């Protein structure tokens, strides 16, 4: 298989590129930076906000992964143009190139837990109620819907993967990302971890290698065409994850009041119901959070 990964220097993009190359895929990477973060990758610099530059992407591949994106919550209100240019217009530039050149490539798009309306202790299926508290969540919902439109009108195939909380690394560069990475970086420096509120909000946590494997295996199934999948994982509260890391590194876990602006953006529990993808793949997870944390401590001490 041949793939173009746009946004290949990002956390999931670089892991996915490495993973697919291990599966003997031919991968070409694109990103804004002058160089790739991965060795031995066919790489080109690309500004997705430039329609002319996107025209230079190799669209003769089997799959185009649009993993470019700007994340964040509050800061998007001051930088909305960039969020729209990268997260929405960039995707449209890719779709336009595919449409205009008659490419048969399938677009693979990562979405987010933030498109869901949180429900207390209730696993959310792909069709669960949606709610949008941030510009970023709206960007992702736009992406999902524009892919459906281009599929309906121009027969451009797609597959969407909603990802909740990824963690870990298998590239030997850093140890984690996002929520878990924040907790871990604090603890590894000997600093206490702080949580807003009581930390009882629940999420689905997935090791990045299990994310890559689910994406790869799903795309090999005919039933994945023009479908949306929740990526499966383990159900923990933020407090449980933070406490486990704090204990492992012998730091304290503190609870602090919510800043007013952040509290307005909090979704509550977002737990993924992932039966759809697990039934399709008969999938067995390679990693657990507890085993990863134990292995991480051992490797760092070594």
Q: Where are the domains of the chain?
A: 2-165+206-230, 168-204+233-301
pLDDT band with cut points at 50, 70 and 90 for residue 173: low
Fold: same for 2-165+206-230 and 168-204+233-301: no
Largest distance between two CA atoms of the chain: 57
Using the 8-state DSSP alphabet, how is residue 5 labeled?
E
pLDDT tens, position by position, 195-231: 999 999 999 999 999 999 999 999 999 999 999 999 9
Tokens read off for 277: 């993808």
Evaluate if residue 261 carries a pLDDT over 70.
yes
Cα separation, 205 vs 272, in Å, equals 9
pLDDT band at 297 (very low <50, low <70, confident <90, very high): confident
What is the pLDDT, as a whole number, of residue 302? 43
Is 80 exceeded by the pLDDT of residue 53? yes
Domain 168-204+233-301: which topology? UDP-galactose 4-epimerase; domain 1 (3.90.25)
Mean pLDDT of all residues belonging to the chain: 96
Distance (Å, whole) CA 181 – CA 196: 16
Assigned fold of 2-165+206-230: Rossmann fold (3.40.50)
Identify the helix (H) or strand (E) that includes residue 261: helix 260-265
Residue 301 scores a pLDDT above 90: no
Give the integer Cα–Cα distance in Å for 161 and 222: 15
CB-based burial label for 263 (10 Å; 0-12, 13-18, 19+) = exposed
pLDDT attached to residue 74: 87
pLDDT tens, position by position, 131-156: 999 999 999 999 999 999 999 999 99
């Amino acid at each position: 298989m041949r793939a173009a990964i746009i946004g290949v220097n990002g956390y999931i993009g670089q892991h996915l590129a490495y993973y697919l190359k291990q599966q003997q895929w031919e991968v070409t990477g694109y990103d804004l930076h002058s160089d790739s973060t991965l060795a031995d990758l066919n790489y080109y610099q690309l500004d997705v906000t430039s329609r002319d530059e996107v025209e230079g992407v190799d669209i003769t591949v089997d799959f185009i992964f649009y993993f470019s994106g700007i994340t964040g919550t509050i800061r998007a209100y001051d930088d909305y143009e960039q969020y729209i240019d990268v997260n929405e217009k960039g995707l449209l530039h890719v779709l336009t190139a595919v449409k205009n050149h008659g490419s048969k490539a399938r677009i693979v798009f990562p979405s987010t837990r933030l498109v869901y309306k949180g429900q207390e202790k209730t696993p959310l299926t792909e069709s669960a109620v949606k709610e949008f508290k941030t510009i970023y969540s709206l960007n992702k919902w736009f992406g999902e819907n524009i892919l459906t439109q281009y599929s309906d009108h121009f027969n451009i195939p797609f597959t969407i993967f909603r990802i909740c909380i990824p963690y870990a690394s298998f590239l030997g560069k850093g140890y984690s990302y996002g929520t878990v990475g924040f907790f871990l970086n604090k603890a590894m420096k000997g600093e206490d971890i702080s949580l807003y509120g009581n930390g009882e909000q629940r999420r689905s946590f997935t090791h990045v290698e299990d994310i890559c494997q689910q994406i790869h295996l799903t795309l090999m199934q005919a039933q994945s065409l023009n479908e949306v999948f929740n990526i499966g994982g383990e159900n923990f509260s933020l407090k449980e994850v933070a406490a486990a890391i704090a204990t492992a590194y012998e730091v304290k876990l503190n609870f602090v009041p919510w800043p007013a602006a952040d509290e307005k953006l909090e979704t509550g529990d977002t737990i993924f119901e992932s039966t759809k993808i697990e039934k399709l793949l008969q999938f067995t997870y390679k990693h657990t959070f507890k085993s990863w944390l134990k292995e991480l401590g051992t490797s760092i001490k070594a």
